Structure 1
Amino acid sequence: MSLRYYIFLKDVLLLALTAFGGPQAHIAMMFKLLVEKRRYLTEQELIELNALCSILPGPTSTQTLTAIGFKIGGPNLAYLTLLVWITPAATIMGIAAVTISYLQGQGISLGFLRIVQPMAVGFVAYAAYMISSKVVHTKTAVSLMVVSAILAYFFHSPWVFPALLIAGGAVTALRFKQHPREKDKHLHIEWANFILFVAVLITAALLGAYTSSLPVRLFENFYRNGSLVFGGGQVLIPLLYTEFVDFKKYLTGEEFLSGYAIAQALPGPTFSFTSFVGNLAMRDYGIAGQFLGSFVATVGIFLPGTFLIFFVIRFWDELKKYRVIRASLEGISAVSSGMVVAAAILLFHPIESTLLNFSIVIATFSLLMFTRIPAPVLILSGLLLGFVV
């Protein structure tokens, strides 16, 4: 491997350890380090790669970094990029889950997390506001957002979410004639990575259905979620809550919120939260089993997005010329924002309905909205207040 590849991986590790704040903040740091300082690619190339990853299911900033690695050094460097980027946060989240399990096993109260749990709801509410303000600009989009929020709130089956996304995209795709026609479309598709993506999805589903192995079923659960999440980590949260708290009861609502709050204080990909969920889902199998749960959850959630970016990046420039594709993005984005609105309401349910908790949600939302206080500072402050109170 060339020296340039080593330097690139070192830069990716630096981002993994310092990139707080979610996909938008991650992209800002990529501009500064990878474009301005290192010149691995141009500003326009990064903008286009991020746009591509934003419309694919999976973690946006992770796929963007992986795509950059692919562009620089092909598939091998791309996989190493993915590994370096996700390992620090996923490891810390796994350790956090084991720590919480240990404290509960020793009968030690998790009361010190009482502040960060409603704070996590404030983070999701802020994400809902930010996403909707960026993607909901027409009456159709508003209608899709409201309807999807209501349906996502009342119907908790994991399959409701992909059905809503497909329906939303189909509604706005019908208006494709409003988009300008582009000429010179010569679409050549290499299907290998898509076939691999589908093959793993089907194999995992069959093995999950016919085996009693919890790690196999967890891998299938997370791979399926990773295949169907449009909009990044904020949209992933309602899917995980519905499936693993409401439906399968692997975690309590309080544990889920505590883990999500901790994830907000960490650099790196938001999807690393799955390491926490997978870990606690296997708490009955000992520490080794818990870390196995973290591993299969992390691999499961990140792998489909990786397959898809490898597949699409080769013909993206031609695909985005099609008006139906461009038109469907409005509906997909509107439905995604509606799902996050529903998540903000659902996540408040496990918390005791007191004036204090409601005030913490409002205060967290307001601080995120009107100040530039970094998310890790807010979460760490909440943890300290929890110890004091």
Structure 2
Amino acid sequence: MIGRVRYYIFLRDILMLAVTTFGGPQAHLAHFQKVLVDKRKYLTEDDLMEINSLCQILPGPTSTQTLTAIGFKIGGPTLAYLTLLVWILPAVILMTLAAMLMSSIEEKNWSLEFTRFIQPMAVGFVSYGAFVIIQKTVRTKTGIVLMVTAAILSYLIQTPYVFPVILLCSGLLTALKYKNQPKEEKVKIVVPWANFLLWAGVLIFAAALGGITRALPVRLFENFYRNGSLIFGGGQVLTPLLYTEFVQYAPKQYLTSGEFLSGYAIAQSLPGPVFSFSSYIGALSMREYGTGGEILGALVSAFGIFLPGTFLIFFVIRFWESLKRYRAVRASLEGITAASAGLVAASAVILFQPLENTIINFSVTIATFLLLLFTKIPSPLIILGGLLLGFVVRWATER
């Protein structure tokens, strides 16, 4: 009974975090520290930082993996999966509703002019994300070279399949610098393969089923599951992949550039994981199937993006103590994070290109970047200000 009560309180704390935590992985970590360490003492500060560091090495949403790993540490797989659901559902529901509202507005041919400032603001958010990642992770000449190379390649070769190749190759290159890492006493690694096989099995099965049936829900799940399996660096790095795959990639093009950027801006203004943006894309991708199709598209996309990171953290956390003693593993992180920074920097340019090259759009993008850089104004208020300004400009021009 005591355990059940403690699990209930833990899940209630996770729900409160899900509806009050803004700002992406860096800001999320501070909230986790305050609630889970300082207030509830579920784990120590060192435990939290080590779990978070491990999640940064793995592909997937860092904040989500950190929380599910804590749930696993406290109560095993069952509590971990409940933690995942409680953490992601509020943001997924809100992003699904946003997609349905967007679809309804377009069906009724209502003007979206009030969102005119939201799209360049979204580019400002991506630019700021690139700046933060570069500032925090790129500190060596090798990192700078890999960052610039990744940015150029991802800009020139705008296909969904180039991104994981860039990330993996960059990690392998810096792994060769393992001698720069301090030595630690090695221990024998015993690897329980069950969760890895589960991750790989779902990936192969989804790809095969999607190829055979060509069913859109299955293909959406496979697309997001694949992206979720190969993304290092959080929602900012996910953005260019999704834009290339769902807006630019000719066989799909399920969303327009305007719809994508508006959705990304909304995701920035909501609490919880930025990866919930996937549910918005999934819902709009299946809008032609009605409300039921939109909900189904949102759900399969959300589970597709969140599950692989969960499977992988469950796999690695069991032998992490042994694995982290190997210098090559620690060295590979330099290349992965540097390439991630390059992908985000290139995405800011790619996302801006469909917009009109006007002074207003440039000014809004730069102003958003500067507000994020030099003020502590919360992201939701910045987005709300952009929407209000759009309404005012539309009202003034129609008079």
CA distance in 2, matches of 1:230, 1:184: 26
Return the offset for 1:352: 1.1
1:137 counterpart residue number? 139
1:388 counterpart residue number? 392
CA distance in 1, matches of 2:80, 2:181: 34
2:223 counterpart residue number? 221
The one-letter code of the counterpart of 2:6 is R
The one-letter code of the counterpart of 2:341 is S
Q: Identical aligned pairs, as a percentage?
A: 63
Q: 1:178-189 residue pairs with structure 2 within 5 A?
A: 178-189=180-191
CA distance in 2, matches of 1:56, 1:387: 42
Return the offset for 1:268: 0.3
1:102 counterpart residue number? 104
Q: Is the 8 A contact 2:186 2:326 kept in 1?
A: no
1:359 counterpart residue number? 363
Runs of 5+ unmatched residues, structure 2: 394-399
Give TM-score, length-normalised by structure 2: 0.97
Give TM-score, length-normalised by structure 1: 0.99
Q: 1:81-100 residue pairs with structure 2 within 5 A?
A: 81-100=83-102
Instruction: State the secondary structure of the residue aligned to 1:306.
Output: helix
1:23 counterpart residue number? 25
The one-letter code of the counterpart of 2:378 is P
Question: Which aligned segments of 4 or more residues in structure 1 are displaced greater than 2 angstroms?
Answer: none
The one-letter code of the counterpart of 1:251 is L
1:338 counterpart residue number? 342
Return the offset for 1:317: 1.4
Runs of 5+ unmatched residues, structure 1: none
CA distance in 1, matches of 2:158, 2:17: 35
CA distance in 1, matches of 2:235, 2:57: 14
Q: Is the 8 A contact 2:176 2:328 kept in 1?
A: yes
The one-letter code of the counterpart of 2:387 is L
User: Is 1:312 aligned with 2:292?
Assistant: no
Q: RMSD of the TM alignment (CA)?
A: 0.7
CA distance in 1, matches of 2:313, 2:111: 43
Q: What is the CA deviation profile of residues 82-102 of structure 1, one whole-angstrom value per residue up to 9, with x for unaligned ones?
A: 000000000000000000100
User: Is 1:376 aligned with 2:374?
Assistant: no
Q: Which of 231, 242, 245 lines up with 1:243 in the alignment?
A: 245
CA distance in 2, matches of 1:113, 1:67: 38
Instruction: State the secondary structure of the residue aligned to 2:352.
Output: coil
The one-letter code of the counterpart of 2:217 is P
CA distance in 1, matches of 2:155, 2:279: 25
Return the offset for 1:184: 3.5
CA distance in 1, matches of 2:41, 2:177: 39
CA distance in 1, matches of 2:246, 2:366: 26
CA distance in 1, matches of 2:168, 2:186: 28
Return the offset for 1:212: 2.1
CA distance in 1, matches of 2:350, 2:327: 36
Q: 1:240-279 residue pairs with structure 2 within 5 A?
A: 240-247=242-249, 248-279=252-283
Instruction: State the secondary structure of the residue aligned to 1:317.
Output: helix
Return the offset for 1:192: 0.2
Q: Is the 8 A contact 2:65 2:313 kept in 1?
A: yes
Q: Which of 34, 42, 45 lines up with 1:43 in the alignment?
A: 45
Instruction: State the secondary structure of the residue aligned to 1:2.
Output: helix
CA distance in 1, matches of 2:321, 2:370: 40
The one-letter code of the counterpart of 2:164 is P
CA distance in 1, matches of 2:79, 2:70: 9
Instruction: State the secondary structure of the residue aligned to 1:347.
Output: helix
CA distance in 2, matches of 1:196, 1:368: 40
Q: What is the CA deviation profile of residues 155-184 of structure 1, one whole-angstrom value per residue up to 9, with x for unaligned ones?
A: 111110010011101111111111122114
Q: Which of 260, 282, 286 lines up with 1:282 in the alignment?
A: 286
Return the offset for 1:186: 2.2
CA distance in 1, matches of 2:157, 2:217: 27
Q: Is the 8 A contact 2:56 2:62 kept in 1?
A: yes
CA distance in 1, matches of 2:110, 2:97: 17
The one-letter code of the counterpart of 1:69 is G
1:147 counterpart residue number? 149
Q: Which of 185, 206, 209 lines up with 2:208 in the alignment?
A: 206
User: Is 1:117 aligned with 2:119?
Assistant: yes
CA distance in 2, matches of 1:323, 1:184: 10
CA distance in 2, matches of 1:171, 1:338: 16
Q: What is the CA deviation profile of residues 295-319 of structure 1, one whole-angstrom value per residue up to 9, with x for unaligned ones?
A: 0000100000000010011111111
